[in-house]
Amino acid sequence: MAKAEGQLTAAIELELKVLDARLHEWGLPDFHSDMAAGIDLRACIDEPLSLEPQAPAIMVPSGIAILINRPDVVAFVLPRSGLGARQGIILGQAVGTIDPDYSGPWLIPLINRNAAGTPPVTINPGTRIAQAVFLPLIRPSLRLVDEFTVTTARGAGGFGSTG
C-alpha cells in the first residue's frame, strides 16, 4: 500500500465487462471525486422509466458485470443519497451484496418510497441510480459452543437495550 497525504491506497484491479455500449457515451462506472467511496451505476434502459409510489421494485440493468474474484473483497450496491433524499428512490432490498465469485450482470432493484397518491418519479436512460462500494471481506470460521466463553456488559439485550 502506498501512502499519499494521510490516505492509504491499495492497488486492486477488478475486471469490468461493459454489457451496454451506451455506457461509453454516458460514462463508465468511476469514482466522481478523489475521495468518493463508491462508483456510480447507471440505468441502462431504452426509454424513461416511471416508478410509481409504493409499487414493487423494478429491476433496472446497470449495463455492467464486474468480476471481483478475490476472497478478501465484497461489493455492496447502495442507493445514491441524492435520489433517496430528494426524490424518494431507494433500493428494493436496502443493500445489495455482490459476492466475489459472481460474474453476471448487475441489476439494480429500484423502488419509489414516496407516499401513495404522489406523482411517479421518472428515471431516464443513463441516469446514475445507485453506487457500488468495495470493502474488505472477512470470512471467519465458526466454532460450535454450548455457551460463550465470555460475558459482555450488554449480554443478550436486543433492540433499544442500551438506551
Tens-place pLDDT, residues 47-78: 999 999 999 999 999 999 999 999 999 999 99
Q: Is residue 70 included in any domain, yes or no?
A: yes
Distance CA 102, CA 124 (A): 27
Please tell me the predicted confidence (pLDDT) of residue 157: 73
Helices (H), the chain: 23-26, 81-82
Q: Is residue 91 included in any domain, yes or no?
A: yes
Q: Band the pLDDT of 11: cuts 50, 70, 90.
A: confident
Q: Is residue 146 included in any domain, yes or no?
A: no
pLDDT in tens, 114-128: 999 999 999 999 999
Q: What is the extent of the structural domain holding 89?
A: 13-136
> What's the CATH code of the domain at 38?
2.70.40.10
- Mean pLDDT, the chain, whole residue set: 92
Question: Cell 404522489 belongs to which residue?
Answer: 118
Helix (H) / strand (E) element for 153: namely: none
**Of residues 75, 126, 81, 112, the one with CA closest to residue 96:** 75
Stretch 101-126: mean pLDDT: 97
Q: Is residue 129 included in any domain, yes or no?
A: yes
